[in-house]
Amino acid sequence: MDEPATDGAGRRPLRVVHERGAVDLTAAEAAARAFLLALGVSLDSESLRATPARMARAYGEMFSPRPFELTTFPNDEGYDELVLARSIPVQSVCEHHLLPFTGVAHVGYLPGGRILGLSKLARVVEMFARRPQVQERLTQQVAGWLQDQLAPRGVGVVIEAEHLCMTLRGVRAVGASTVTSALQGVLRTDPGSRAEFFALAGPRFRQETSAR
């Protein structure tokens, strides 16, 4: 496959569009109405009458990441240290109960021949989060996609999130958070690079690293 052309500034844009089926808000509204009625929720009051439509639009939005261009630049200065974006907001929906989980992602990479526009790290997280998900898969998908598309020397992703399916139902463990990580390339194979990434990814990992 031919590489995308660069512009005059050496930028190489890659158009990214999330593939999914067609959205039918009319059908979604009817299904939401039937779902609520089946659960014994009356929709007769003025405040609830439009809830099925609002519910359909809300889930349509949660399942719709924005298309974007993954803009990369030549690494002319030969920068070879870790680039890390911390506390990227994560909003997704658990695929088992369709309840939201929210938190933050810390995404880093060791540049190779090209570097990435920093805002695009957040866009990649959104691209994989805006669909029914499990946190483990989401973490792996972000890391794997960046490794494939950017060809860096290494990629690291840590996601910390609170799952409403765990805090509002079942065990009802309010305040519990789930932490997942995925490493690629040098950040996986080299102990020093791995330790540096976890030391910078957040207080939790700094404490664990210093205690070893």
- Alpha helices, DSSP H, located in 100-152: 119-129, 135-150
Question: Is 84 a residue whose pLDDT tops 60?
Answer: yes
61 is catalytic: no
Question: How far apart are alpha carbons 134 and 138 in whole angstroms?
Answer: 6
Domains annotated on the chain, with CATH: 25-62 (no CATH), 72-211 (3.30.1130.10)
What is the token pair recorded at 117?
């526009």
> Residue 16: its pLDDT value, please?
52
Question: Is 5 a residue whose pLDDT tops 80?
Answer: no
Q: Which residue out of 69, 140, 162, 165 is catalytically annotated?
A: 165
Question: How far apart are alpha carbons 20 and 43 in whole angstroms?
Answer: 31
Q: Which residue out of 126, 133, 135, 196 is catalytically annotated?
A: 135
Q: What is the pLDDT of residues 8-18, one digit of tens each?
A: 555 555 555 45
18 is catalytic: no
> Residue 1: its pLDDT value, please?
36
Question: How far apart are alpha carbons 115 and 129 in whole angstroms?
Answer: 23
106 is catalytic: no
Q: What is the pLDDT of residues 162-202, one digit of tens each?
A: 999 888 887 787 878 999 999 999 999 999 999 999 999 87
Question: How far apart are alpha carbons 161 and 173 in whole angstroms?
Answer: 13
pLDDT class for 121, splitting at 50, 70, 90?
very high
Question: How far apart are alpha carbons 159 and 142 in whole angstroms?
Answer: 10
Q: Which residue out of 97, 140, 149, 162 is catalytically annotated?
A: 97
135 is catalytic: yes
Question: Is 32 a residue whose pLDDT tops 90?
Answer: yes
pTM given for the model:
0.83
Q: Look at strands 68-69 and 15-16 and give their pairing.
A: antiparallel
Question: Is 129 a residue whose pLDDT tops 90?
Answer: yes
The sign one gets for the Cα dihedral 73, 75, 76, 79 is positive
What is the token pair recorded at 33?
């109405």
